Amino acid sequence: MPTKQHGSKPARRKTDAPNRSKSSKRRLPKNAPIVMISSYPPRLCGIATFCEEAREFIQERHPEREVLVISHTDGSGEGVIPIIDISNREWWKPVVEEVSRLDPYAIHIEHEYGLYEHRNAAGEGDHNQGFLEMLKALGPWPTVVEPHTVHGRLRDYESAFVKEMTETANVVLFKCHYQKWRLNWTFTSRDWETPTNIMVVPHGARPDRHWTVEQVAQLKKELGFTDCTYLGDHYVGLVGWIQRNKRWDVLTSMWEGIVKEIKERTGEEWDLLAAGEVRDPHDLQEYNKYRGEVERLESKGLAHFYEFTPRGDIYYKIMACCDFVVLPSVDETQSGTLARIIALNKPFITTAPMEGLTAQALESGGGLLFSTKPMLREKVLRLACNEKARLKLGAKVEQYLEKVVSWRVVAQQYDEAYELAGHSNSIGKRVILPAEF
């Protein structure tokens, strides 16, 4: 998607049928804030971490405005307004009141179903009806919604939610092109009108986390890896939150044989660097299983387990120490882990077909795909035994970062979304963007 340079205006997109029950021309001061609505750190949540990084680069692009975050009650920090209490069915009303007080230039909402699901005393969820009520109440302001879960095959309630959400928001941001063309199939099969206000803006990745070979050696020392006498110079990474869908055991179960074959082919010593922490208590059994397998390999001098909370600079430092990374997810994810792999220009191997992971592997040209254990074994051996292949894939990831998914490129696209939303809101007509196919 074309982007604009900082300070220039994006090309105007067409608008058509009325989109809002309320619309009015507002005269805003030049420094009216951008308000984000999202979970936020210190909550251990991928959306919270995403919002923290997105906000940083939106703020970098807009020094003339405050970028504020209305968060759940466990969010904190300067410019964070922690007032979302999902235990209250009308949690969204204080949000709308705060937005009214701030009178923002644009509202940018990060959406994940679990963040806004109210459950009553019987444990029954409202299927995000509170979120939709909030969105309607925010009608007087330009709204951009960035949903983080849009599966290719939506469940009935998800389809209904996406339909109402796209009808109510000014602009909706999908992460991948396949989500947009697949939605057309889903909606037309139900005799629904396909939304025209969907932009494709990829998951951002940091452009400012790079270390030289010499600096990586220092990172290994800083993190204590050089104190582990059994660790060699080459690491295959399993990095990130440890949960049931990440299936570390797919690789650990055959790592011993892989290491032996690498040694026979190249004479090099390779190790598995498994690093992360459990986030969801429901995943504790899998965490113990995966960690136990890594520690068994560690006892043989073939792997190392490093426990850390996957956020902040340390996440990037650990990733930088890996020659390449394996991401064996068996469930769809808009992966923050993959964003960090890309930020470090690392070749990667991931599961396919797996919607967003597969899409980014294909689009970047920097990832290899597997769908069986023999395929994973072959791909790991290919990268471990061929430095030129690693360099070639890493160079493609670097280009993909610079041209497509850098947070600075993404922030430019956010700007276009804000301006489209503002224009749509002011004239009361729907944004019309071209279809993918």
Give the model confidence (pLDDT) of 221-254 as tens digits: 999 999 999 999 999 999 999 988 899 999 999 9
Mean pLDDT throughout 153-178?
Answer: 96
Residue-wise pLDDT for 325-384, tens only, equals 999 998 876 578 999 999 999 999 999 988 899 999 999 999 999 999 999 999 999 999
Residues 6+ apart with CB under 8 A from 40: 48, 51, 52, 69, 71, 72, 75, 76, 77, 80, 82
Per DSSP, 10 falls in state P
Burial 251-268 (b: 16+ CB within 10 A, else e): bbeebeebbeebeeeeee
What is the model's pTM? 0.90
Cα separation, 416 vs 437, in Å, equals 22
Fold of 14-204+406-432: Rossmann fold (3.40.50)
What is the reported pLDDT for 5?
38
Among the listed residues 10, 22, 12, the one whose alpha carbon sits nearest the alpha carbon of residue 141? 22
Residue bearing the bigger pLDDT, 17 or 374: 374
Whether the Cβ atoms of residue 377 and residue 356 lie closer than 8 Å to each other:
no
Residue 63: pLDDT above 70? yes
pLDDT at 25: 56
**Which among 260, 275, 336 is positioned nearest to 309, based on CA atoms?**
275
What contacts 203, CB < 8 A, 6 or more positions away?
Answer: 50, 175, 334, 335, 336, 338, 339, 356, 360, 405
Least confident of 18-32, 77-91, 220-234, 349-363: 18-32
C-alpha 18/C-alpha 15 separation (Å) is: 9
Contacts of 31 (CB under 8 A, 6+ apart): 64, 65, 66
> How far is residue 232 from each of residues 126, 210, 220, 227, 260, measured CA to CA in Å?
52, 22, 11, 11, 14
Residue pair 160/186 in contact by the 8 Å Cβ criterion: no
Confidence at residue 423, expressed as pLDDT on a 0 to 100 scale: 96
The residue length of the chain stands at 437
User: Could you give the residue range(s) of every CATH 3.40.50.2000 domain in the chain?
Assistant: 14-204+406-432, 213-404
In the 8-state DSSP scheme, what is residue 403? I
- Domain 213-404 = CATH 3.40.50.2000: yes
Q: How many helices (H) and strands (E) does the chain have?
A: 15, 15
